[in-house]
A and B are shown apart, each in its own frame.
Chain A
Amino acid sequence: MSTESLRATDITKSFGNISALSGISLHVNKGEVLGILGDNGAGKSTLMKIITGYHKPTSGQMFINGEAVTLTSVDHARSLGIECVYQDLALVNTLPIYHNMFLNRELRNRFGMLDHGAMRKRAAAALDDIGVQVPSVDDEVAMLSGGQRQAIAIARAVYSNAKILLLDEPLAAMGAREAGLIIDLIQRQQARGDISIIMIMHNYAQTLEIADRIMMMQRGTVTFEGNARDTSVEALLDIVRREYRAMRAAAQ
């Protein structure tokens, strides 16, 4: 059996006359972290939204665990184990941590009432298990730091049985210490071996530190793909510079 969990081949996406993705292929294995780098407008978010079932690709095919799938909705993607942690984290500030952990997957008793006690207990256990420390699951999310919020969002995705976990800029706007905690958290999930992680990143050095494999995108195409240990920040920046020169030359 292959350990490949996700493969996408020749994905294109156009919005009207504008082509956002022109033939992207990617794959990710179980227990692997794929880092996707690229400037604003490179098509990273569009690609992400196609993998999560939010957008339908104009053409191209996706395979999950070797089987061809056509995602019809976010719920459909989720039922196949694809979970995404967006940059805004999808956390509700005015709700306590345990409600956020179970948002739209609430536990209910046989009368259809919310089972607050069970959710509290299981949220605390899940956070403990994943290695996220919070003072109390009754705390409102508004009281948490950026790093804690990111950790809760990742923990929620992992707890809801993510097999393919997409992280949109998981270290954005974070201090070194908080980023360190999140990197630890991501590496612990990777160590489990059954989860594939795809991260959208801006910071080259951080990406090289966490990812096994790097994919770089520019204007809807892949400009580099390779193992993280075989490349360097300098090499990646060279590719970006070359692309820019080519772009400027083409524009003149």
Chain B
Amino acid sequence: MSATTLTFRQRGTKLLALREASIIVVALVLVIYFSVVNANFLTGPNLQTLSQFIAPSAIIACGEIMLLICGEIDLSVGQIFALAPFIMAFTDHAGLGMFVGFVFAMIVSALVGLINGAITVLLKVPSFVTTLGTLFLINGFTLTVSKGYPINTPGGQTMANIFGAAGYNEFLWAVLIVVIMHVVLRHRRWGLHTIAVGGNLTGATEAGINAARIKIGNFMLTSMLGGITGILEAFRIGSTDPLAGGTNIMFLAVASGVIGGTSLAGGSGTIIGGLIGATVLGVLQDGFTLQGINAFTFDMIIGAAILIAMIANIHVGRLNRGGRS
């Protein structure tokens, strides 16, 4: 008995290590490839551009990964991304200042997450449908309050620099959030209970875990991370645009998580993997842009990358469980 179990275990550990390592290898291979074919790839300015591309999807991925682990998804996070900086700007225009504006933006983001979570958990609407509804709702709301026009992001240059405009600052914010969320997932009860709820909802509930609280909390977290990312981007770009973010950033974040090894079936996932997944997508985007490949081709490559990652994800996972599906 113990002999066969041990073989499964050894094989499992090896493959697990492989799954984590394989995405890092992919990222490294891509970096090496692009730095060989294009001398501009490993230069300061380009790395800065690259870091600014990775940061938003990495931050939002942290939220989506938590949701995917507990068996949910948020399609509306890209719309909060657009709404949050408007709330901050309007509050500032009303004379209450940027800080109060930021707090308001976070409150509204959390509220949207609360609504997403409450409809999903308490009214039992699948989160895919709930957040598809709020996606349109929030998008319409942002377009209405902004009248469809972008505005300048308020606040001085210093503030803009701190919050992402200067150098690698946006990326540093992303790394800080990734580190915090990694600790939450691996070293706090919240993360463990998130895995338990996604791995066995009935079992987790029978063990006394409040699954509704975990799920709603993760919806609120994701919305707030979406709001923070929208604000960081508004500072970096200098304009607050009602059409910023959207489904594009949401899908990049989900893809980052999935490419990084998070299971769409729930119950397992890694935050660090999400950062690496975002890096892979960023390197692909940036590298091909330097190569002069157009956006249409890029979408095909992203699509293929997601498919390959998913196929690997499912089949490596099955081998890992000793052949059981």
Q: Interface of A with B (CB < 8 Å)?
A: 74-75, 78, 84, 86, 88-95, 99, 103-104, 106, 108, 112-114, 116, 133, 135-136, 139-140, 142-145
Contact = CB atoms under 8 A, between A and B. Distances in A.
A103 B209 contact: yes
A104 B207 contact: yes
Nearest to A73: B208
B119 interface: no
B120 interface: no
Given A95-B195, A114-B189, A103 B2 contact: no
A95 B195 CA distance: 8
A74 B268 CA distance: 27
A135 B7 CA distance: 10
Contact of A78 (B208, B267, B322): B208
Count class of interface residues, chain B: 20 to 34
B270 to A, nearest CB: 12
B199 A94 contact: yes
B192 A95 contact: yes
B192 A114 contact: yes
B17 to A, nearest CB: 13
29 contacts: A74-B208, A88-B200, A88-B203, A88-B206, A89-B203, A90-B206, A92-B195, A92-B196, A92-B199, A92-B204, A92-B267, A93-B267, A94-B268, A95-B192, A95-B199, A103-B204, A104-B204, A104-B208, A104-B209, A108-B189, A113-B188, A114-B188, A114-B192, A135-B2, A135-B5, A135-B6, A136-B9, A139-B9, A145-B1
A90 B188 contact: no
Given A99-B192, A104-B207, A114-B187, A93 B12 contact: no
Nearest to B324: A142
B14 interface: no
Nearest to A113: B187
Interface in B174-226: 183, 186-189, 192-193, 195-196, 198-200, 202-204, 206-209
Nearest to B205: A90
A93 B206 CA distance: 15
A103 B192 CA distance: 8
B288 interface: no
A82 B268 CA distance: 31
A116 B183 CA distance: 13
A80 B10 CA distance: 41
Contacts of B5: 135, 139, 143-144
Interface in B220-272: 267-268
A139 B321 CA distance: 11
Contacts of B192: 95, 99, 106, 114
A103 B202 contact: no
A244 to B, nearest CB: 32
B298 interface: no
Contacts of A75: 208
B8 A143 contact: yes
Nearest to A89: B203
B219 to A, nearest CB: 21
A59 B173 CA distance: 58
Nearest to A111: B187
Contacts of A145: 1
A74 B210 CA distance: 12
Contacts of B193: 104
Contacts of B187: 113-114, 116
Given A103-B209, A114-B189, A136-B9, A93 B2 contact: no
